[in-house]
Amino acid sequence: MPPHRGLRPVLATAFAQTGKGPYLRSRRELSTLVTASASLSSPRQPLRRYPPELILIPIPIPQPKPTFPPSSLMSHQQRRYASTRPEPEEELKHTPLYDLHVSLGAKMVPFASYAMPVTYPDLSHKESHLWTREHASLFDVSHMVQHKLSGELAEEFLMTVTPSAINELEKHRSSLSCLLNDEGGIVDDTVISRIGKDSFYFVTNAGCREKDIAFIDEHISKFLKAKGASGDQINWHVLDHHALLALQGPEAASVLQSLIFNDTEDESLDTLLDTLYFGSSRWLQLTLPDSGMNTPSLLISRTGYTGEDGFEISIPPENGNATELATNIAKALTADSSKVRWAGLGARDSLRLEAGMCLYGHDLNEKITPPMAALGWLVGKSRRVDNPTPAFNGHQIINKQLASPKTMTERRVGLLIEKGPAAREGAEIVDPENDNHIIGHITSGSPSPSLDGQNIAMGYIKNGFHKKGTPVGVRVRKNVRKAEVAKMPFVPNKFYTRPS
């Protein structure tokens, strides 16, 4: 047995639905053990700082089959938005909000083994993108994998598989980071939050789920064995069936603030979002207007993937799954359609590209190191030494690249491309003086809705061609189009940061 036999991911599973009636809630009927917890049908609940742990026995859940657009459209959207090969229709998974998306008429596409909304009927892709920049949009990102890691060795373990100075991370602060293989390549990108002295919450990509779980499991085993430590010194849970909502845009804060429950009996709790800055999180309750009831405590982080101010809300499966709770929260957040509307994968992809943010499997992979990806800033200053303590995977390669950038063969850059068809993933970047000389390749590209259709892209280019303003060519449909290396983000980020 591996030393952390009891540390395999705890997969919280959902209550069954009969198909004819409402969700069964009887412990006797379901033969399921659930810790006592608040429900939306109960009276107003006192504030709880932390959601309860759940222990649930797996029960199969009948699901309706997802419906999809014609195969030609689906293939196009897979290339644009999917980070993994599409699964057969019957194998696609559903987020807790799947039924709500279908009821709203969302166009569903395969993405990382899930049926996910790409657009909604009320707005086109471009309109939804611009709406997010001008107002606020709600994204269902429940397909992302949420983790909790705790224990006296949790911090040290994270510092062996990431380049971040996790030991310097304050409580309720977050850091963009990445999981690294032994060669310093990026296994996945992640956001890590310290939620307690020895406990952390982090989110990884849905398309990397199986790979990431195997990676973390293997590295915990190796770490504990090397330390001669016992399994109970690290506890790792995969928070399956938690929902995750991202509210993004300039009106996000005012809309969310209007729903936050202010506990007058606990004056020590700060419920004002004015003091919650980018990269910070807080446990808060929401009051749902339709019922007047309070939600349980939710982990709300001021972060996002659009370049706009915004929040991510982790919703626990308090009564077996997060469907009812997540649906009620989503309806409350989108109640005023003059401020907030639903947005799908289409807008999310173009927003993150304008913000210069990477999509794993496209702009990042296991052969790319943080310095190559222009993410050298992820490496903590205290970690940029010959023998960091503890040592992190690939530190010799990564720190050499940071000290001597010319040792890198290629780097991620932004590109502005002349009018015409957009440069998509795989397009060749060429020397403008010799278009037979390939100097790089595009990893993401599209017209920018915020820049009146200006073609933008990011990709990897040979050292020496990476400086801002360098003219290059991009081969699009056999024609070489003029382009220029540009600074990212293409659209200024609007994060709500702490005053300097």
CB atoms < 10 A from the CB of 20, how many? 5
Element (H, E) at 226: helix 209-227
Rounded CA-CA distance 58/16 in Å is 9
User: What distance in Å separates the CA atoms of residue 321 and residue 240, rounded to the nearest whole number?
Assistant: 9
User: Which residues have CB under 8 Å from 132's CB, separation 6+?
Assistant: 248, 249, 306, 308, 343, 347, 351
Which phi and psi (to 5°) does residue 147 adopt? -130, 150
Q: Residue 306 carries which side chain, given as an amino acid letter?
A: T
CA dist 350 and 248 (Å) reads 14
Question: Could you please report the per-residue DSSP string of 187-199?
Answer: EEEEEEEEEETTE
Q: Are 358 and 205 in contact (CB under 8 A)?
A: no
Q: For residue 132, what is the DSSP state?
A: H
Give the other-Cβ count within 10 Å of 368's Cβ: 21
Confirm or deny that 91 is annotated as ligand binding.
no
Contact 190, 301 (CB under 8 A): no
Those residues whose C-beta lies under 8 Å from the C-beta of residue 228, and which sit 6 or more positions away, are none
Q: Using CB atoms within 10 Å of the CB of residue 228, give its burial: 0 to 12 exposed, 13 to 18 middle, 19+ buried.
A: exposed
How much of the chain is helix, strand and coil, in % rounded to 5?
Answer: 25, 25, 50
Biggest CA–CA distance in the chain, Å, is 75
Phi, psi of 279 (to 5 degrees): 85, 10
Binding residue numbers for substrate: 312
Binding residue numbers: 312
